[in-house]
Chain A
Amino acid sequence: MNIFMHEFKMSIRSVITWSIALFCLIFVFMSMFNAFASDAELLNEMMSQFPEELLMAFGMTNIDMATVLGFYSLIFTFIQICIAIQAANYGFSLVSVEERDMTADFLLAKPVGRTKILTMKGLSAITGLTLTNLIVWASSFVFINVYRDGRPYEIKTLLLLLLSIVMFQFVFMTVGLLISLLVRRIRNVTPYSMGLAFGTYVLNAFGGMLGEEKLELITPFKHFDPNYIINNASFDFPMMFISLSFIIVSIIASYVLYTRRNIPSAV
């Protein structure tokens, strides 16, 4: 429990920063909804003028921007990117930061096993991610209802969208953790997490553009495609299982690698 509390204290600032950023993102975008929706025809007409590749790149095909969830799905893509960076960040830094800052020598020389250390660190990161998630849920509900101006929306579909965040966070965190354990030392976490988040995002966007469906199979942005969820009012289960298998493999491999890991020394 002491490790959990320590880790949580160390990460709370980052959790708050991300939560505020996502809160602002949802607030600013949703506040523009009314203006967009009242000129819906004009907007949809303008959208149809854009080259289809561009719309695909931003996941904006088959979307009616005049509807609440159609508009929200655009915001949700940005939420997903932020969530992906944050979760990957926590995953990459989970054990690598201690090795970079040389504090691993302190922690691992204490009477506690590696399995417990990894579990506690993992739980702390999940708690942080869940707090951010709760903020996303709350601000989505609040600002949708404040700015929808009486327009209807399917609450079940919104719940599905928000529910997808949990597993989405898990994928990026666990895969990040696994990659961090496969390299000897990570000097700076940010390029790794940005790379993983934007890399998978671009893979999804360009995969859509180029019609390369095989590439899409490995990106969680495809597994939890907001358009699919909105249009079908359901998850894309076969795709979701790919993400689930990533999570399971990453967790098992991380425990195996970490319990056998040689901690690089300072000198």
Chain B
Amino acid sequence: MSIIEVNHLTKYYGKTKGIEDVSFNVDEGEIFGFIGPNGAGKSTTIRLFCSLIYPTGGSAKIFGKDVVKDGPEIRQEIGYLPSEVFYYDRMKVTDLLKYSASFYNKDCTQRLHELADLMELDLKRRIDDLSYGNKKKVGIVQGLLHQPKLLLLDETTSGLDPLMQQKFFNLIREENKQGATVFFSSHILGEVQKMCNRVAIIKEGNVIKIEDIKTLQKDNYKKISIAATELEETRFHVEGVTNMQKNNGAISFFFKGDINVITRLISERQVSDVTIEEPSLEEIFMHYYE
């Protein structure tokens, strides 16, 4: 069953494009990555899911219901963790979390305390006394305390120290095991690579690729580096070769296609070193963004 169905979703801010004609599905139990650089439309998409903004075209359904028409009902089961957290400064952490919990039709007290302990959050302090990282923790706890079925993470990890990031990822994995679907937006590919099953790559408001993360890494591209004293680049100008680079006599490039073509080309020459490896997600990503 699809938890999120996005159909030709479009958002313009006046004449400025937010996103255009975005379509994808996220299945139940998935951790779905949404990657792209700043300003590509990641936040716009998530803000559309939460009805913070309204679409100019197309539609989005969550739990099979339209986000514009059934917003409040859908949001009972959504946990939204925004990229920048801002809360009522004069409130105490505990009051804010209780206020947050009061919107849901269930008792969240126990989960609230579990999460606060786990994230090492001091409930008695005032919001405006908290550091940036601690405010982020408040954001995480308020987004998770009602045990939502869908988590919308909008670059949530920025500003957390590595230890807390680790805890946070474990927490998200745990929620996922309990049945929560996760929509994970980020521009840090390493964390997407670690967490997600599938990814959508968004560029300038358009989704340019949706793929299984393993497929994206394995089946497509190989990164090949060859070191040799006398080797002309033109030799490897065959179909499927991209990103040709030459430095200090070594040649490296991406290759997509029948690997035998390349090994044959290599074996006919005297070379000192060859490596064939899977490119990192970063490299694939850069490839899409050229």
Contacts and interface: CB of A to CB of B under 8 A. Distances in A.
B1 interface: no
B50 interface: yes
Interface string B68-100: 000111111010101110111110000000011
Most chain A beta-carbon contacts within 10 A, residue among B38, B43, B76, B88: B88
A111 B144 CA distance: 14
Contacts of B103: 2, 110-112
A106 B104 contact: no
B51 interface: yes
Interface in A79-114: 101-106, 108-113
B53 interface: yes
A257 to B, nearest CB: 12
Contacts, number: 69
B52 interface: yes
Contacts of A262: 13, 52-54
| Contact residues of A: prevailing secondary structure | loop
Contacts of A10: 88, 90
A109 B84 contact: no
B126 interface: no
B72 A267 contact: no
A109 B86 contact: no
Contacts of B51: 108
B53 A263 contact: yes
B75 A105 contact: no
Nearest to B43: A265
Contacts of A113: 71-72
B221 to A, nearest CB: 33
Nearest to A6: B99
B47 interface: yes
Contacts of A102: 84, 86
Interface string A212-240: 00000000000000000000000000000
B245 interface: no
Contacts of B38: 267
B166 interface: no
Nearest to A267: B84
B86 A108 contact: no
Contact of B50 (A101, A109, A267): A109
B10 interface: no
Interface string A242-261: 00000000000000000010
Nearest to B82: A105
B151 to A, nearest CB: 12
Nearest to B143: A109
A256 to B, nearest CB: 13
A233 to B, nearest CB: 46
Contact of A106 (B78, B87, B90): B87
A106 B86 contact: yes
Contact of A112 (B13, B72, B83, B84): B72
Interface in B215-241: none
B80 A109 contact: yes
Contact of B86 (A105, A110, A260): A105
A46 interface: no
Nearest to A105: B82
A103 B54 contact: no
B171 to A, nearest CB: 19
Nearest to A110: B103
B99 A260 contact: no
Nearest to B48: A262
A35 interface: no
A109 B84 CA distance: 14
B88 A109 contact: no
Contact of B54 (A101, A112, A260): A260
Most chain A beta-carbon contacts within 10 A, residue among B50, B52, B54, B74: B52
Contacts of B50: 105, 108-109
Contacts of A108: 50-52
Most chain B beta-carbon contacts within 10 A, residue among A108, A111, A263: A111
Contact of A111 (B47, B53, B90, B104): B104
B102 interface: yes
Given A111-B73, A112-B72, A265 B86 contact: no
A106 to B, nearest CB: 6
Interface in B179-220: none
B76 A111 contact: yes
A28 B52 CA distance: 49
A266 interface: yes
Nearest to B98: A2
Given A260-B54, A262-B13, A111 B75 contact: yes
B83 A110 contact: no
B88 A103 contact: yes
B252 interface: no
9 contacts: A101-B89, A104-B52, A106-B82, A109-B50, A109-B75, A263-B52, A265-B47, A266-B82, A266-B86
Given A106-B100, A109-B50, 5 more contacts: A2-B102, A108-B50, A112-B103, A260-B54, A266-B83
Closest 5 CB pairs of A and B: A102-B86, A111-B75, A2-B102, A262-B53, A110-B103
